[in-house]
Structure formats: structure tokens, C-alpha cells
Structure 1
Amino acid sequence: MTKTSSRFDYFKSRQIPELTVLQAALSDFSYDRHAHEEYAFGVTLAGRQDFFSGGQFHRSPPGNVIQFNPEQVYDGHPGDDSTLGYVMIYVPTSQLEASFADAAGCERAARFRASETLLADPELRQAILELAHLVTHQAGTRIDQEHALHRMATRLVQRAGQFQPDGRMSRPDALLLRAKEYILAHLEADLSLDEVSQAAHLSKYHFLRLFRQQFGITPHQYILSCRANAARSALEAGLAPSEAAFRYGFTDLSHFNRRFKRIYGKTPYQYQRSVTQ
């Protein structure tokens, strides 16, 4: 029996335009390691979902929830010979901050980050699937979708127990944060490793070692991931793929197509058509 090719269907919420839902069926595709600026909430529906994140490999059977914090690096691929089916929701931080703070009873919890990546939680799974259904079927009102988001945020905080605000940032974290901020502020420039390591006040050697140790990805991979994310937003706003490639430093449209597809499963043109119809 011939395996079906992989399929990626993206949906933008009409009520909350910042929300994106992905329905995927993977049989012959593997994601490159990358990171998004949003939270990502997924449910494995069929097959087994294998991925690397947080310094370890994970295996998600059907029914499990996968949760990635903003900037958390991960990859992914089918874990066995069966087709991997899953749904993923990408949520900007601004859509969850008030709910996190309310659930924790602490305004500082607005920047809550979950410590669990793979969860067996029926309540959280139900809220994710409910929101995905509302978006993919263009159903319900904005308050219905916001309610599902609030349930998701509340459940994550409940699982974490009493909110403990982060202590002082370690020196490596602070230095690497400077580097990340510099990268994001100069995505349209011809960045060099020297410039980025200088922004972090580190030698090139120490910067490379610390960055990979902290994020599980090289600075080069991170820059390409950030450029693809920025290009994605530009495509959603109607910018032509060729212009997005030029703006965000890809050598040509072919290079842009390859890199973008390794993260989103579609070429820039295919992605743009799917979310702007």
C-alpha cells in the first residue's frame, strides 16, 4: 500500500486574526529545528509524534498534548511507519498574558512559561481541540475562542502549582538575551557572527558554545528561523514571496522556499494562499 504524501492545512481565526491553526498529516516529512515567537499547543491525533526539545527526545502517542513556550526550539517527525496526524495552535503571548496572571493571582505571571513539554491532560486536550474546531470551522464568536484560550492558560497554571516568579537572570542568560534581541532587531541586515557575539559581549567561541548549549540550535539556524517567522507575518499581510525573500536576507527565492518549507511544510506561496483565501 502506497503511503499518502504529507499534508499541511493552515487556518487563520476570523475572530482573533493573530491565531493560527495547523492540521497536519505527516508520512514523509521532518521539520528542521526551529523556534516560534508564539506559544504552540498541539494534540497528537494519530500515529506517533517524535521530536527533540529542551535537550531531550520526546515521543507523543495519540491523545497527548504538546506545549512549546515562545522561543523554545524543537523539531518533529513521524515516530513509526503510520501517518502522523496532529493539530497545532500558535498563540501570540499577548493573547494569554491576562489569563496567566488571572489564573496565578499574580500580575507577574503574565509572562508564565510552562515547564512541561509533553502532557497527558484530558482537560487541556479538550480545550485545545475545541479552539481548533472553532477556528477551522469558522464557528462561534470571539468570546467563545477567548474562553477556550482562557481554559488552556488556566489549566497550564494549575498544573504548575503555585506560581514562583523567576529569580535573577543568570549572566549567560542575560548575555544570550542581548544577542537574541540584536538578531531580531537586525533581521533585514546582512548579519555576521562577529556582530552578534559582540552584542552579547562574548568572544565568538564562547558565544557559539553557550548559544548551542542553551538553545540546542546554532546562531545560524536561529537567524534563519527568525527570518522565516518574520517572512511568514509579511506573507500573511500580502507581501509577495519574492519580496519577502529579498527583505529578510534569503539569497534567492529558491533558498527561501527550501528554508520556509522545512519549518512550515509549505512553500511561501502555498502558505500565503492557504491563509489569505
Structure 2
Amino acid sequence: MLTENRFQFAKSAALDEVMLLKASMSDFSYGTHAHEEFSFGVTLSGRQDFFALGEYHKSHAGNVIVFNPEDAHDGHSGGESTLHYKMLYIHPDQLVPMLESAGVHQAKSFRVGKVLQDDAQLRSHILGLAGLVENNVSSLEYSSALYEFAECLAHKERLKTDTTTRIKDPVFERVRDYLHSHVTEEVSLDELSQVAQMSKYHLLRRFRDYFGMTPHQYWQNYRINRAKEALELGMSLADVAFTFGFSDLSYFNRRFKPVFGITPYQFRRNLLRT
């Protein structure tokens, strides 16, 4: 018998921009999306199958998964066993200062070079940090643990940092800025092609190569992330849906669930219990 899909979010009481997801999945599939945080996960049991950075990956029990901010990916349970995993989301505003203190030059451009790893040290740090979120420890204890994690990342990635930094394309950075500034409005492909100064069809192909998502997927993903932040701040479901351009709560639910596994109402209720 398949286990019910379960997604439980918890926020760090000590650091506001850190969130933990504990998930069990049997027949749920994430849609293609990206997070604005660094995502550090550990597959606890079962198998986690996903597509990211142009490749298909299979994460077995004990493996570490790392998504840099804006790394587009999907995901589902692979094989017959239920997938259990923990994922820690750490905003760059929390991690970058720690990386700078650990000696990383150009820490704002820091990226972990390998999405799937079998690394006992990283696994230990991630699960240790997850335990601190679950147990609501003091700010000092959590900050110390996060710094030790940043030191570990810096040491492992030091020789690869320069080669893993994505070269920014000013054309697509401009298109992204336009989408961000029109988050509450309808945006057409014609508008974006004018911003990029290229044909619509050329833009579609080049944008997807650059971001891993179509312009529409990227725009929807950005709106969902802004909506999630608003829910965390206590805005009502109806106000969030209206503010970020979702026609009604049903449509908001259909867009939110493929990214976070649960409805907006369930997400906010999760946070209120922690």
C-alpha cells in the first residue's frame, strides 16, 4: 500500500530566512520550478528522481542533493519504495556573509558545482542543521552551526568556485528584471521580445537555455515565490491570490501545489504549528 504524500515545513526560530521541509512521497511529482534559496537535501530512504542542469539524476538513500538559487528542477519518487527526504532552504542573505567569513572571494556568486553527491560530511551538516530547526535552538547555536557548514562548503568548493560561476547575459538579466517588475500584471511574449530585442521564437529558445524554464514558467515561479513570502508574513489567502495575479483561490492552489507539495492554506497552517 502506498504511503500518503506528506510535506511538512518548519521555519528556524533563530534565523528567519531558513526553512526545513520534511517530505514523504509515493505518487507525487513536482513541476519544473526553482527556489531563490540554496537548497540542501538528504535522501533518507527510497529513491529521488529529478531533472536538473540538463541531466536526469537518481538520488539513493544517503545521497546529498544541492540546488543553487534559480536552478530549475523537478522531482518525483523513483522505484517502488516510498521516498523520504529532508531539504533545508537557506537564503543567500544568510549564507553569503558566512561564506565571506569563511574566506570565499566573490561569495555572492558562489555556486555548488555538483547537484548530486555522496558526501558523508555534507550529509552530517545538513541533517544537523535540520535537527536544530526542528528543536528551536538558540540563535547563537544555530549561527555557529551554519558557519561551520559554510566553512565546509567553502573548503570543498574553493578550487571550483571560479569555474562554476554562471556568466551573466545582460539581455536575459534585463528580461528577468522586467518580469520581476511586472509580477502582479499579465505579461506578453511580444513585450518580452521587445525588451530582449529579438524574435519571440529565438527568445523562447534562448531564455529556456539560460534559465532552464520558459518565460511563462519563470514568471509563474517568481509569482509563487512572492506569494509564499506573503503567506509567511500573514497575508490572507484571498489577498495573496489577488495581489499576485491569480484569478481565484482554486487557480492559486493549482499553481502552488506542484512547487511545494501542499496547498497555500496547508503551507500557512504548517508554519503556524511550528
- Range into which the TM-score falls when normalised by the shorter chain: over 0.9
Equivalent-residue separation in structure 2 for 1:216 and 1:12 (angstroms): 28
With the length of structure 1 as denominator, give the TM-score of the two structures. 0.93
Partner letter of residue 265 of structure 1? G
The 3 A distance-change label for structure 1 pair 188 and 3 is same
1:66 matches 2:65: yes
CA displacement at 1:75 relative to structure 2: 0.6
* Structure 2 residue aligned with 1:130: 128
1:149 matches 2:160: no
* Structure 1 residue aligned with 2:230: 234
Task: Say which SS state the counterpart of residue 102 (structure 2) adopts.
Answer: helix
CA displacement at 1:178 relative to structure 2: 1.3
Equivalent-residue separation in structure 1 for 2:158 and 2:232 (angstroms): 37
1:42 matches 2:36: no
Partner letter of residue 55 of structure 1? G
Please, which of 181, 186, 190 is the counterpart of residue 190 of structure 1?
186
Equivalent-residue separation in structure 2 for 1:15 and 1:231 (angstroms): 23
Equivalent-residue separation in structure 2 for 1:212 and 1:230 (angstroms): 21
* Structure 2 residue aligned with 1:15: 14
CA displacement at 1:221 relative to structure 2: 1.0
Write the deviation string for residues 225-251 of structure 1: whole angstroms up to 9, x where unpaired.
Answer: 111110000011111112111111112
8 Å Cα contact 1:109/1:163 also seen in 2: no
Partner letter of residue 24 of structure 2? A
The 3 A distance-change label for structure 1 pair 80 and 167 is closer
CA displacement at 1:141 relative to structure 2: 1.3
Equivalent-residue separation in structure 2 for 1:25 and 1:231 (angstroms): 24
Equivalent-residue separation in structure 2 for 1:161 and 1:258 (angstroms): 41
Equivalent-residue separation in structure 1 for 2:148 and 2:51 (angstroms): 27
Equivalent-residue separation in structure 1 for 2:165 and 2:157 (angstroms): 20
Partner letter of residue 251 of structure 1? S
Structure 2 residues not aligned, in runs of 5+:
none
1:33 matches 2:32: yes
Equivalent-residue separation in structure 1 for 2:21 and 2:33 (angstroms): 16
CA displacement at 1:148 relative to structure 2: 2.3
1:251 matches 2:247: yes
The 3 A distance-change label for structure 1 pair 164 and 233 is closer
With the length of structure 2 as denominator, give the TM-score of the two structures. 0.94
CA displacement at 1:254 relative to structure 2: 0.7
Task: Say which SS state the counterpart of residue 44 (structure 1) adopts.
Answer: strand
8 Å Cα contact 2:33/2:74 also seen in 1: yes
CA displacement at 1:163 relative to structure 2: 5.8
CA displacement at 1:151 relative to structure 2: 2.4
Partner letter of residue 120 of structure 2? P
CA displacement at 1:170 relative to structure 2: 5.5
The 3 A distance-change label for structure 1 pair 179 and 234 is same
Equivalent-residue separation in structure 2 for 1:72 and 1:160 (angstroms): 17
CA displacement at 1:61 relative to structure 2: 0.6
The 3 A distance-change label for structure 1 pair 213 and 13 is same
CA displacement at 1:165 relative to structure 2: 4.0
Aligned-CA RMSD value: 1.8
8 Å Cα contact 1:104/1:162 also seen in 2: no
8 Å Cα contact 2:66/2:115 also seen in 1: yes
Equivalent-residue separation in structure 2 for 1:247 and 1:40 (angstroms): 27
1:121 matches 2:119: yes
Partner letter of residue 62 of structure 1? A
Partner letter of residue 159 of structure 1? K
Count residues in correspondence.
Answer: 273
CA displacement at 1:206 relative to structure 2: 1.3
Task: Say which SS state the counterpart of residue 16 (structure 2) adopts.
Answer: coil
Equivalent-residue separation in structure 2 for 1:189 and 1:206 (angstroms): 23
Partner letter of residue 98 of structure 1? P
**Greater shift in the superposed pair: 221-230 or 196-205:** 196-205
Partner letter of residue 114 of structure 1? V
Partner letter of residue 41 of structure 2? G
**Greater shift in the superposed pair: 195-204 or 46-55:** 195-204
Task: Say which SS state the counterpart of residue 152 (structure 1) adopts.
Answer: helix
8 Å Cα contact 1:50/1:57 also seen in 2: yes
* Structure 1 residue aligned with 2:93: 94
8 Å Cα contact 1:157/1:163 also seen in 2: no
